[in-house]
Amino acid sequence: MSDPFFHPVSGFDLPRFAGVPTFMRLPHLTSDHPRFKDVQIGLVGVPWDSGTTNRPGPRHGPRQLRDASTMIRAQHAANGMRPFEAANCADLGDVGPNPADIPDSMARITAFYTQLRQAGIRPLTAGGDHLTSLPVLRALAKDGPLGMVHFDSHTDLFHSYFGGTMYTHGTPFRRAVEEGLLDPKRVIQIGIRGTMYDSEDRDFAAANGIRIVPIEEFFARGVAEVMEEARATVGSAPCYVSYDIDFVDPTFAPGTGTPEVGGPNSYQALQVCRELEGLDIVGADLVEVSPPFDQSGGTAFLGVSIMFELLCAMLAK
């Protein structure tokens, strides 16, 4: 049972359009706060998109996601879970990046998440572009490689861009496998689609045992069957969940830098998270929400709804 100090502000007590927005209206704590040591799940923003190779904007994602998250309430509608009563959750603020220096930003992110790991806090991250996942994994996989369930329309397994640039939002999981942060045989990528440069990323996956579920197979088999395989692939050992909002069809999530048509709808976007129950999730992220392309704010609200689902999945075990 969580401490009432960590419960979010209710819309019955303060209108949702009022007050300073934090993730899901939770208390905002920094590492020098006396209650920091009591946090079990930390929601963190990483406002950084220096790995973007086409349309920038995810650096503004955490701020918009925080604002949209004031509409998140205390109880899950389908399973009745009340996550804020199951664990001490808090908004731990943003990792301050260096927008002019990718290696420095990654070092800052890794240092921040190392502090969380040492404090026993499991992170739920709002990005940021997908390169964000790499420095987070560098902190969380100190004790050995993790499994991963990855929802995306792209594999992010490319070797490099532009003749040798190794760190972009299209390369984080190639680096993570090379660095021993992920066990490729316990990685499954779901929803992959769109036109391709070539098959280099998929060839790497096949050679290393990474399971790719293309969108055609996802729709042919259905959510329940695909996610049963995902749970079997990851197994009972610690794992990470990475969720790119462009997994969702752009009809429902237009506010992203690299949209791909022919994807899941917004209900299926939530449904796949509910099928993560039982996994040992040591951290999760929701990345690539780009406010400049999200004029209605609908992408951000879907994004924080997914974050709530991920939070519940992290606590279900």
User: Is 244 annotated as ligand-binding?
Assistant: yes
Q: How far is CA 136 from CA 14, 168, 222, 273, in A?
A: 34, 15, 31, 20
User: Is 38 annotated as ligand-binding?
Assistant: no
**Cα 182 to chain centroid, rounded:** 16
Which tokens sit at 157?
């397994």
Which tokens sit at 68?
């949209």
User: Is 154 annotated as ligand-binding?
Assistant: yes
* Alpha-helix runs per DSSP H in 180-265: 200-208, 215-221, 223-234
Residue 282: helix, strand or coil by DSSP? strand
> Which of 165, 132, 149 minimizes the C-alpha distance to 289?
132
> Which of 275, 273, 260 minimizes the C-alpha distance to 304?
273
What are the residues whose beta carbons fall under 8 Å from the beta carbon of 177, sequence distance 6 or more? Answer: 157, 184, 187, 208, 210
Task: Say how many C-beta atoms besides its own lie within 10 A of residue 188's C-beta.
Answer: 23
* Cα 172 to Cα 155: distance, rounded to the nearest angstrom: 9
User: Is 246 annotated as ligand-binding?
Assistant: yes
Region of 175 on the Ramachandran plot (φ > 0 left; ψ -120 to 50 alpha; else beta): alpha
Annotated binding site: 130, 152, 154, 156, 244, 246
Residues at the binding site for Mn(2+) are 130, 152, 154, 156, 244, 246
